[in-house]
Amino acid sequence: MLSFLLFSRNIKLTFRVCICFMTFLFLPLDARCQNFTNINELIIGNFSAEKSGENLPYGWKPFLFKKIKKHTFYSLVLDNGIAVVKAVADSSASGLIRETRLSLKEYPIISWTWKVSNILEKGNVHNKNGDDYPARVYIIFEYTPEKLSFLEKSKYEIARLIYGQYPPYAAINYIWESRAPKGSVIPNPYTNRTMMFVVESGEDKINQWVEEERDVYKDYKKAFGDEPPMISGVAVMTDTDNTGEKATAFYGDIKFKKN
């Protein structure tokens, strides 16, 4: 079991925010990892360099939730001859996490590709029962005490005493939503420490590979109004435990780039 999972199930309770990503070890990118292509680009998810099969991509870990017994299944498959991550959810929730530490001042741009086979009929970013998405990519930011109130610091201290490390400070979710307009920015229904950016919505692009690019630095300032802390991890997740539906999604390579 991972030891530092916060923001589990996309941070479904405020205090649960303090326990669900408690499996992070916050390992930096290093020369062991096949992540460096040049000084202008860091490959966080080098899925296309993997071999197809059931093994997880290099450097990525599953995260599971104690109260959710049914897990989303992730595997490496070939799509048009290129290795990608396939996620299959059936009333289930779990994800994949890549631990990394980087500064958005140096690498503010994230790019990735994804494809979904369906949207969720009951999906709704505005309420807890609809807080499921066929695909999401989210960015986790490390604990930054100077940004917190006394009460918030107290909650983080309790989490540290219980789990041995501080939980992350905040998260941004880039989601494929069912009906909310593309471009919407919405607080997560469980906590305002996670902001949901609707980058795709509806059925128009189902079964198509879609390329995405976001300026995470600008998105963070728009969402939270201050300078972003260091990134501590990147995750992908396909979940349907709230809606009880099925979803299939595919994730291509994930990169951070300089401006």
Instruction: Choose between 150 and 233: higher pLDDT.
Output: 233
Range 166-192 average pLDDT: 89
Q: Tell me, what amino acid is at 75?
A: S
Q: What pLDDT does residue 24 have?
A: 36
Give, as one character, the DSSP assignment of residue 169.
S
Q: What is the dihedral of CA 67, 95, 174, 32, to 10 degrees?
A: 140
**Percent of the chain whose pLDDT exceeds 70:** 75
- pLDDT computed for residue 241 by the predictor: 95
- What is the per-residue pLDDT for 147? 63
Q: Side chain identity at 17, as an amino acid letter? A: V
Average pLDDT rounded to a whole number, residues 33-46: 74
pLDDT of the residue at 1: 31
204-227 mean pLDDT: 97
Amino acid 177: pLDDT: 97
Question: DSSP character for 206?
Answer: T
Residue among 102, 98, 99, 40 nearest 257 (CA)? 40
Separation CA 141–CA 230 (nearest Å) = 6
**pLDDT at residue 205 above 90?**
yes
Q: Is the pLDDT of residue 14 over 80?
A: no
pLDDT of residue 140: 93
More confident residue, 148 or 23: 148
Q: Taking the model in full, what pTM does it have? A: 0.83
- For residue 191, the model assigns a pLDDT of 82
Looking at residue 32, its pLDDT comes to 34
Residue 142 pLDDT: 87
Residue range 140-170, pLDDT digits in tens: 998 665 566 657 666 666 655 555 555 556 8
Helices in the chain by DSSP H: which ranges? 150-163, 216-224
Architecture of domain 3-257: Sandwich (2.60)
78 pLDDT more than 80: yes
Looking at the predicted structure, is the pLDDT value of residue 33 above 50? no
Please say whether the beta carbons of 12 and 242 come within 8 A: no
When mean pLDDT is compared over 92-101, 154-163, 212-221, the highest value belongs to 212-221
